[in-house]
Amino acid sequence: MNARVKAFAIPLMLLVSLPATAAEVVEKIVARVNDRLITNSEFHKRIDTMVHGPKPVSDSPGLRQNVLDDLIKEKLIEERAKELSVAATDAEVEEAVERVKRQYNLATDAEFDAALAQSSMNRDDLKKQMRQTITIQKVIGRDVTSKLDISDDMLRLEYERQKETLYKVPEQGRVYEIVIRFSPTDPIGREKALARLEQARAKISAGTPFPDVAREYSEGNAASRGGDLGMVSRGELLPALDAAVFADPPQEFPPPVILAASAHLFRVAERKPAGYKPFEAVSEDLKKRIGESLYDKRFNEYIDKLRREAFVKIYDPELAKLEEKKS
């Protein structure tokens, strides 16, 4: 089997399970949600996808309860879709199938069919799953997502709560550097390097622009840029270099720093104090964070309401006990 086909097979199984077929009517019923049934095969197929999927989990009472909860939610939303006359169109289903093919780089129909067969599926099975998934997404979009109200006041309040943790900006400086290297086991080489650093320093003191001296003397990665390291934040450099660059009080030309295998000369052209990213720059990030949290809350409230208004009966004794404990 082609490697791309194998990679496709397992993730595909994580899609929503197929609804019961006519042949399953006589099999064991795990639960009923209004007029919709959760069959034994549907329930265990979902468990199997979790246990043997890309991120496998152990079969346990907790997993079984979660799977049952998910299936009940899906049936409730399917009922709501029927009330709203919401459904996926044929065009939307075909586009979703094409996205799956592109996602797993399945160029030919033969590869696609082989990948589906690895999950005991065919194209009609996949289309049914896609139709169900798209329909569920439409209902949630209409009843939940579209009603999320995130006001400017809410964003600004969250900004004040989170700015210390999420949006703090450390002190920064525009830094230029001259680096001269030597072997830590070569005392003579070290002296020559320090002498060369002093020559560079003398040229700068005499008025030669720091970038010109850096291009002539520096052995650092930024030499071709005139030693320009750009804006550097406190804490980015090695501690000894950081202490020199962010000396207090600020110094444009801090004293040279000698390390075990290199000598450094700096020019700090600009210093910016520590602060916070402005609200305007992070408002979209805040909206996303609040939206995710608010969505979870609203979605759970929505499902609770649908369930209160529905007839839900669990026929499996063990699952019924688990549900009772949770309630």
Question: So where are the chain's domains?
Answer: 3-149+286-326, 168-276
Burial bucket for residue 180 (CB in 10 Å: 0-12, 13-18, 19+): buried
Rounded to whole angstroms, how far apart are CA atoms 4 and 147? 40
Rounded to whole angstroms, how far apart are CA atoms 236 and 21? 61
What's the CA dihedral at 254, 259, 263, 269 to 10 degrees? -30
Q: Which long-range contacts (CB under 8 A, 24 or more apart) does 235-241 make?
A: 235/170, 241/266
Written as six digits, the tokens of 226 are 């005139």
Nearest-5° Cα angle at 244, 222 to 224: 10
CATH code given to domain 168-276: 3.10.50.40
Quote the DSSP letter at residue 14: T
Q: How many residues does the chain have?
A: 327
Position 200 confidence tier, pLDDT thresholds 50, 70, 90: very high
Residues 294-304: tens digit of each pLDDT? 998 999 999 99
CATH code given to domain 3-149+286-326: 1.10.4030.10
Residues 218-271: tens digit of each pLDDT? 999 999 999 999 999 999 999 999 999 999 899 999 999 999 999 999 999 989
Rounded to whole angstroms, how far apart are CA atoms 236 and 60? 47
Closest CA to 111 of 126, 121, 97, 101: 101
User: What percent of the chain has a predicted confidence (pLDDT) above 90?
Assistant: 65
Closest CA to 40 of 26, 25, 30: 30
Alpha helix (H) ranges present in 236-316? 239-245, 279-308
